[in-house]
């Protein structure tokens, strides 16, 4: 076999030796042709047309290389003997298909191109190798047109087939991948290493309503929510630059214009060298999650708000408040409760009431709270809380969640109540000790208490008298009025006062002055009435007595007034009498003096010394009488009415000098000095005649009552507090060295008919009274200073005060 395949020629020639049909097979005639055949770049076999054997007549080098055979093992042998089917491939069709193709060439005389054929080749080691072939079988005819050979040209297309198959597989896997990508709920996208978006899964197009052309590259950014763009680009660039996985939440616009939230994620795909070749990204719709988040956020916010509201409400209530859950653990504690419990909210919340305030276990608090929860009922109570040392007023409300407790510090109220009770006791004790009848009524006027005296006086009991029972002891004539009026007071809150008779236990009525006062609390609400009944029977009698006395006094007054009027009439008639009398006496006396003077002057004949002395004594007596009468006349005038005053500018000093000089002879005769100190002019408005009259009176008194020594008359301005009024005065002093006037008598001498020494017979005691009266009419006064007490007379100084200006 080896040698038979070594040479085409030989094979052709020697073929028949080996095969009975070899003789029909012509050899290749031309060595040149053989050389061409041998070295042709394509793989050829020259096959004899001896179907079904198809003896290999020649094989070129390319074919031998391609099939890993040697010429000597091929040439001269049946094609199918050399190239059998791969026994390991039960589906192998190589032999059958090749045979069919060759037979077709023989039958038709036309070349036949076989479909791509898998035809495994045995390696020199014996194992088969997968191979694919592109085969063309072409007939070769001789000159006579007889088909003598078939050229079997093959091309090893294993590599192409393989790569095609790979490609097909890849395509398939990509298709499958895209199908998958389209099926999963996420959007899938891929980019190249630069971030250029080249692929989006179906969902993306369905969502955006866009085409690849619109969305590839940077196109996708157009569907991004404007507010998310900046941060998305930044984030994406960051991943592209660093290769870090990309993750972001953003919104994309749906075809209908609505935006949906997505979670965008991408990771890089790298080659073996670690270079990024692609980015694989997904978009997961998180709208629902976002919506839920938002809803949750809203709910949380609302809950927070509600909680805050509750807290605000709890804080704004004045009461202390805490709540416990079903396990008695604190859930709420407001500020007031923090204050009263002396514990902070943070400290208490979550902790057990009974553990934190173990001292109340077993107390009223414990029982009441337990009861509230067990019976699901509201409880209210007041109790002393020993742990916090105060009295509290508590209201506890059970709920499904536990117990809500409101409480407030009532220590002050408790104290006040205690005080009230005490003062109430004191008050009743006091009300029992007062001499009045007393009672107390509630705000409606229902009397609930009488003092002992009341019950004792009426001889009744509280049971009989309480409420409105007191009407039984009232006088039937008064009771209706009393009821009406006191009812009015109870209704209006006005204090009540009335006077009426009350029947005593003896059956006799006595009069009572009754009063009731509303007692109010700090809010002004009447809390009770307190009433008293004061027995005024005696006062009423005393009042009648007083009335009688007053009557008597009025009578006495009227009588006195009558007497006064009578006295006035008497005085008036006395003055009139005096005026008449003095006038009647004065004129005859004047006439008598006239005759006496004629006698004294010897006009009626000369007189003996004795006669002359008698005449002179007579005249002195007449003079004294005339003077007295003159004064009486003055007094009568003064009593009768005002004395006429006529003010003119007057030099008081000159007036003093003149008046004093009138008395010089008289003083000298009495052996007295007369010293007048009035040199400077002293002008004022006054009545000179009246001033002269006063001065004459003072000088005359000084001469009369001074035995030894002298008289000094002085005048000057005086600005002092002394005198009738403080201010500027003209003061005229007439001083003597006489007996002086006791202080006790100094005011007396200015009264009419006052004489200190009645025996002295110097005057009638009228002069000073008239002088003072005139001085006051002039706007001044007369005062005296004297020190007669203790015996040693040191004289008197009378001062006439005259105003410096005109005074009304």
In the complex, the residues that contact ligand ADP under the rule CB under 6 A are 701-702, 705, 736, 738-739, 741, 749, 754-757, 762-769, 796
- Euclidean distance between CA atoms 802 and 731, whole angstroms: 6
- Residues 238-247: b if buried by 16+ CB within 10 A, e if exposed: ebbeebeebe
Tokens of 589: 């006396």
- Euclidean distance between CA atoms 521 and 516, whole angstroms: 16
Considering beta carbons, is residue 26 or 765 the nearer one to ligand ADP?
765
| Per-residue DSSP letter, 90 | T
Query: Which residues, in sequence order, are CB contacts of 145 under 8 Å at separation 6+?
Result: none
- Euclidean distance between CA atoms 710 and 737, whole angstroms: 6
Neighbours of 434 (CB within 10 A): 12
| 3-state SS class at 640 | helix
Taking alpha carbons only, the member of 252, 265, 250, 403 closest to residue 325 is 403
Query: Minimal distance in Å, beta carbon 617 to ligand ADP?
Result: 21
Query: Minimal distance in Å, beta carbon 650 to ligand ADP?
Result: 24
Neighbours of 3 (CB within 10 A): 12
Query: Minimal distance in Å, beta carbon 664 to ligand ADP?
Result: 17
Query: Minimal distance in Å, beta carbon 762 to ligand ADP?
Result: 5
Question: How are strands ordered across the β-sheet holding 320-325?
Answer: 330-333, 320-325, 402-409, 390-399, 379-385
Query: Minimal distance in Å, beta carbon 692 to ligand ADP?
Result: 16
- Euclidean distance between CA atoms 96 and 101, whole angstroms: 9
Q: What is the helix, strand, coil percentage profile of the chain, to 5?
A: 45, 25, 30
- Residues 715-725: b if buried by 16+ CB within 10 A, e if exposed: beebeeeebee
Query: Minimal distance in Å, beta carbon 587 to ligand ADP?
Result: 22
Distances (CA, A) of 462 to 311, 467, 509: 55, 9, 20
Question: How many Å is the Cα radius of gyration of the chain?
Answer: 81
H or E element in which residue 337 lies? helix 335-341
Query: Minimal distance in Å, beta carbon 679 to ligand ADP?
Result: 24
Considering beta carbons, is residue 145 or 758 the nearer one to ligand ADP?
758
Query: Minimal distance in Å, beta carbon 716 to ligand ADP?
Result: 20
Query: Minimal distance in Å, beta carbon 557 to ligand ADP?
Result: 34
- Euclidean distance between CA atoms 513 and 595, whole angstroms: 88
Considering beta carbons, is residue 219 or 742 the nearer one to ligand ADP?
742
Considering beta carbons, is residue 685 or 756 the nearer one to ligand ADP?
756
Query: Minimal distance in Å, beta carbon 741 to ligand ADP?
Result: 5
Terminal Cα distance for the chain, rounded? 193
- Euclidean distance between CA atoms 333 and 343, whole angstroms: 9
What DSSP letter does each residue of 239-255 carry, written as one string? Answer: HHHH---EEEEEEEE-T
Query: Minimal distance in Å, beta carbon 754 to ligand ADP?
Result: 5
Query: Minimal distance in Å, beta carbon 696 to ligand ADP?
Result: 11
Considering beta carbons, is residue 256 or 757 the nearer one to ligand ADP?
757
Considering beta carbons, is residue 92 or 748 the nearer one to ligand ADP?
748
Query: Minimal distance in Å, beta carbon 792 to ligand ADP?
Result: 14
Query: Minimal distance in Å, beta carbon 556 to ligand ADP?
Result: 35
Query: Minimal distance in Å, beta carbon 785 to ligand ADP?
Result: 11
Nearest-CB residue for ligand ADP: 763
- Euclidean distance between CA atoms 148 and 106, whole angstroms: 9
CB 477 within 8 A of CB 483: no
Query: Minimal distance in Å, beta carbon 769 to ligand ADP?
Result: 6
Considering beta carbons, is residue 723 or 763 the nearer one to ligand ADP?
763
- Euclidean distance between CA atoms 11 and 23, whole angstroms: 10
Considering beta carbons, is residue 15 or 763 the nearer one to ligand ADP?
763
The dihedral sign for the CA sequence 451, 455, 460, 465 = negative
Considering beta carbons, is residue 105 or 731 the nearer one to ligand ADP?
731
Considering beta carbons, is residue 194 or 744 the nearer one to ligand ADP?
744
Query: Minimal distance in Å, beta carbon 776 to ligand ADP?
Result: 15
Taking alpha carbons only, the member of 486, 487, 511, 481 closest to residue 499 is 511
281 has which bridge partners? 189, 266
H/E/C letters for each residue in 483-522?
HHHHHHHHHHCCCEEEEEEEECCCCCEEEEEEEEEEEECC
Distances (CA, A) of 226 to 24, 214, 247, 259: 89, 18, 18, 11
Considering beta carbons, is residue 486 or 694 the nearer one to ligand ADP?
694
Considering beta carbons, is residue 484 or 757 the nearer one to ligand ADP?
757
Taking alpha carbons only, the member of 31, 14, 32 closest to residue 23 is 14
Taking alpha carbons only, the member of 104, 92, 76, 173 closest to residue 130 is 92
Tokens of 194: 């630069």
Query: Which residues, in sequence order, are CB contacts of 806 under 8 Å at separation 6+?
Result: 647, 685
Query: Minimal distance in Å, beta carbon 698 to ligand ADP?
Result: 8
Considering beta carbons, is residue 8 or 691 the nearer one to ligand ADP?
691
Considering beta carbons, is residue 498 or 733 the nearer one to ligand ADP?
733
Considering beta carbons, is residue 12 or 739 the nearer one to ligand ADP?
739
- Euclidean distance between CA atoms 46 and 12, whole angstroms: 11
Considering beta carbons, is residue 502 or 702 the nearer one to ligand ADP?
702
Considering beta carbons, is residue 654 or 670 the nearer one to ligand ADP?
670
């Amino acid at each position: 076999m080896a040698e038979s395949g070594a040479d085409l020629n030989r094979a052709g020639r020697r073929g028949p030796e080996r095969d009975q049909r070899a003789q029909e097979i012509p050899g290749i005639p031309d060595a040149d042709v053989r050389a061409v055949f041998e070295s042709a770049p394509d793989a050829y076999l020259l096959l004899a047309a001896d179907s079904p054997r198809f003896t290999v007549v020649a094989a070129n080098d390319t074919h031998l290389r391609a099939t890993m055979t040697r010429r000597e093992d091929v040439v001269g042998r049946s094609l199918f003997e050399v190239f059998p089917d791969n026994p390991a491939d039960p589906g192998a069709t190589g032999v059958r298909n090749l045979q069919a193709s060759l037979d077709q060439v023989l039958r038709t005389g036309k070349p036949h191109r076989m479909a791509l054929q898998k035809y495994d080749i045995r390696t020199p080691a014996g194992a088969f190798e997968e191979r694919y072939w592109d085969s063309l079988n072409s007939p070769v005819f001789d000159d006579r047109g007889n088909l003598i050979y078939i050229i079997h040209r093959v091309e090893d297309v294993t590599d192409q087939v393989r790569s095609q198959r790979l490609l097909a597989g890849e395509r398939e896997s990509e298709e499958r991948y895209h199908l998958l990508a389209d099926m999963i709920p996420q959007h899938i996208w891929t980019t190249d290493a630069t971030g250029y978006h080249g692929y989006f899964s179906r969902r993306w197009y369905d969502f955006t309503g866009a085409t690849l052309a619109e969305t590839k590259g940077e196109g996708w950014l157009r569907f991004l929510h404007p507010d998310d763009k900046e941060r998305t680009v930044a984030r994406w660039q960051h991943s592209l630059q660093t290769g870090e996985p990309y993750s972001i939440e953003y919104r994309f616009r749906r075809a209908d214009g609505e935006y949906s939230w997505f979670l965008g994620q991408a990771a890089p795909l790298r080659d073996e060298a670690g270079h990024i070749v692609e980015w694989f990204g997904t978009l997961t719709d998180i709208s629902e999650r976002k919506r839920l988040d938002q809803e949750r956020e809203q709910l949380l916010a609302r809950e927070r708000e509600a909680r805050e509201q509750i807290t605000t409400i709890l804080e704004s209530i004045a009461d202390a408040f805490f709540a416990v859950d079903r396990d008695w653990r604190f859930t709420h504690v407001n500020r007031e409760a923090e204050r009263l419990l002396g514990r902070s909210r943070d400290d208490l919340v979550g902790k057990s009431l009974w553990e934190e305030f173990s001292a109340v276990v077993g107390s009223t608090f414990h029982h009441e709270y337990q009861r509230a929860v067990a019976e699901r009922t509201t409880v209210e109570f007041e109790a002393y809380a020993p742990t916090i040392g105060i009295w509290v007023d508590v209201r506890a409300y059970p709920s499904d969640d536990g117990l809500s407790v409101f409480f407030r510090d009532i220590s002050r109220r408790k104290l006040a109540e205690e005080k009230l009770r005490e003062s109430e006791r004191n008050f009743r004790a006091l009300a029992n000790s007062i001499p009045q009848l007393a009672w107390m009524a509630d705000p409606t006027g229902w009397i609930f208490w009488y003092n002992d005296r009341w019950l004792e006086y009426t001889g009744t009991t509280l049971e009989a008298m309480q409420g409105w029972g007191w009407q039984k002891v009232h006088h039937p004539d008064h009771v209706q009025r009393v009821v009406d009026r006191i009812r009015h007071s109870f209704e209006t809150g006005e204090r009540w006062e009335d006077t009426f008779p009350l029947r005593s236990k003896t059956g006799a009525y006595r009069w009572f002055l009754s009063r009731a006062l509303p007692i109010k609390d700090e809010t002004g609400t009447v809390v009770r009435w307190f009433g008293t009944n004061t027995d005024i029977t005696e006062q009423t009698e005393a009042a009648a007595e007083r009335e009688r006395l007053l009557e008597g006094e009025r009578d006495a007054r009227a009588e006195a007034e009558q007497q006064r009027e009578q006295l006035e009439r008497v005085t008036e008639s006395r003055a009139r009498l005096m005026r008449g009398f003095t006038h009647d006496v004065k004129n005859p006396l004047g006439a008598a003096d006239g005759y006496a003077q004629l006698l004294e002057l010897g006009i009626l004949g000369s007189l003996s010394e004795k006669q002359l002395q008698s005449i002179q004594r007579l005249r002195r007596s007449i003079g004294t009488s005339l003077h007295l009468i003159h004064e009486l006349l003055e007094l009568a005038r003064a009593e009768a009415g005002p004395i006429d005053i006529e003010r003119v500018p007057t030099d008081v000093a000159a007036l003093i000098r003149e008046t004093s000089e009138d008395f010089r002879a008289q003083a000298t005769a009495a052996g007295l000095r007369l010293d007048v100190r009035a040199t400077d002019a002293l002008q004022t408005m006054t009545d000179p005649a009246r001033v002269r009259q006063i001065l004459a009176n003072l000088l005359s008194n000084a001469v009369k009552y001074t035995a030894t020594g002298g008289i000094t008359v002085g005048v000057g301005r005086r600005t002092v507090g002394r005198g009738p009024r403080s201010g500027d005065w003209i003061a005229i002093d007439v001083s003597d060295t006489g007996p002086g006037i006791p202080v006790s008598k100094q005011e007396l001498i200015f009264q009419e008919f006052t004489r200190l020494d009645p025996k002295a017979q110097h005057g009638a005691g009228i002069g000073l009274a008239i002088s003072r009266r005139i001085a006051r009419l002039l706007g001044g006064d007369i005062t005296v200073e004297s020190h007669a007490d203790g015996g040693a007379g040191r004289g008197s100084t009378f001062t006439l005060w005259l105003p410096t200006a005109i005074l009304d």
